[in-house]
Amino acid sequence: MPMETVRELFKREAASGIVPASAAIGGVLLLLALLLSARVIADEGTDYDLALKHLATHPDVSAALAAVVRLETTNIERLIELTEIAAPPFQEQTRARRFAELLDEAGLGNVEIDTEGNVLGLRRGDGRAYTVAVVAHLDTVFPAGTDVRVRGEDQEIFRGDGKPGDARLYAPGIGDNARGLVLLLTLAEALTDAEVSTQSNILFVGSVGEEGTGDLRGIKYLLRDGGPRIDELIAIDGGNDERVLNQAIGSHRYRIVITGPGGHSWGAFGMANPAHALASAIHKFDAVAREFVREGPRTTYNIGKVGGGTSVNAVPFESWAEVDLRSENSERLFELDTLLKKTFHNAVDAHNALRDRGAALVLDIATIGKRPSGVVDPKTPLVQRAMASVRHYGLSPVLGSGSTDANAAIAQGIPATTISRGGVSGGAHSLKEWWSSENAELGSKKALLLLLASAGVLPAAETGARVDLRGL
């Protein structure tokens, strides 16, 4: 379907606000039943647990859960294929095109790539405007040229011609987030195979720009004014099946550049040296920042990249560093931000005072990314459903924080959470990243129940019972 067609569909549904009479009656009866029961929804989500248990017995949902188990036996091939399509920051196009094809093959007829590069697949509900987005990011942190071929535990190239079982598969980006994309495909195909009908629209999203300097550009574009309506957002990005994210870690990212006249290492000696000033600034910031983060809400910092200079025997005319600051608390983040800028300015001033001759160094601190922070109340229905889905499979949910596509939604007041991608993984953002299929189907089934609990399931022919957890 052309992009304009999908966009117009969202606009029509958002404007209409259609809610079928049967849905309205069902919602009123459900609300009355909850009120008459005189039960308080506790933090452990008792009512959500009972409702989710009922949802899992719905014939169509049971069929979809069975489809998930079947699909997980063949997902290794799709995981290898997507992992080996490189997707560096701002270069996700090739993977996006293939992912769009796979979403279409999974039964979504309304698949497009928007102008920012996001892959969007719309699965329509029963006509109401409410839309639940489920998102996995396309990009990886690794630069172009990184070897992304998948290897087995023996470090030989793995081609899927044998069953790895629960053994580890190694490749940069295999867990974060090629596996997230595979889970998204699994959900779409399971719903198609089981012919599940939902009350709400489900928007499947392969987002761009989640990693590094992408600065959440894909999800921010999706949530722009005039974009498609999104009422709830579920991000798939993480390896812990017990984690339910309800807090967005904010971050400030900078490219810091110190410039000077440069010159020959012998002839220009005594002039201000950008590399010396940068090294001094980093050292001083590390010392004061380390003490700062020891107390209060968790706060971190990282000098992730440094560069500059032309030769070992030349005073550089430019030296630079890229810095990442993070915190669960916005005030602490701004305090650390202030500390960073003050320390670098002082270091450059000190080196300018030491120079024997020549022009002064110039400091430039440019923002290359800002991720908003925020908190979703644990009693929010989406978070309660997510916790109930974890308990449904015998695990204990743990509320946590993270920096994912959900940040952008949380900052706009849209209920959002991040859940696991299934399986077991490690070494994220490293060349030794790995993923294992151990318990992979558990993560997929948990995600499916959460998605359907949020979207609402229409009655099956056998039961005539509407299952709607959205109002709990």
Helix, strand, or coil (residue 398): strand
**Per-residue pLDDT tens for 328-349?**
999 999 999 999 999 999 999 9
Residue 434: what are its φ and ψ, rounded to 5°?
-140, 160
**Per-residue pLDDT tens for 266-298?**
999 999 999 999 999 999 999 999 999 999 999
| Amino acid 472: pLDDT | 53
Question: Are residues 130 and 27 in contact, defined by beta-carbon separation less than 8 angstroms?
Answer: no
Q: How far apart are CA 99 and CA 178, in angstroms?
A: 10
**Per-residue pLDDT tens for 137-192?**
999 999 999 999 999 988 888 765 545 566 899 999 999 999 999 999 999 999 99
Helix, strand, or coil (residue 328): coil
Q: How confident is the model at residue 8 (pLDDT cuts 50, 70, 90)?
A: very low
Q: Tokens 């606009």 correspond to what residue?
A: 11
Judged by average pLDDT, the poorest of 55-69, 134-148, 456-470 is: 456-470
pLDDT of residue 32 exceeding 80, the answer is no
In the chain, what are the domains? 3-248+373-455 (3.40.630.10), 250-371 (3.30.70.360)
**Per-residue pLDDT tens for 73-132?**
999 999 999 999 999 999 999 999 999 999 999 999 889 999 999 999 999 999 788 999
Q: Tokens 């025997």 correspond to what residue?
A: 313
Give Cα separations from 110 to 67, 321, 454 (angstroms). 22, 43, 21
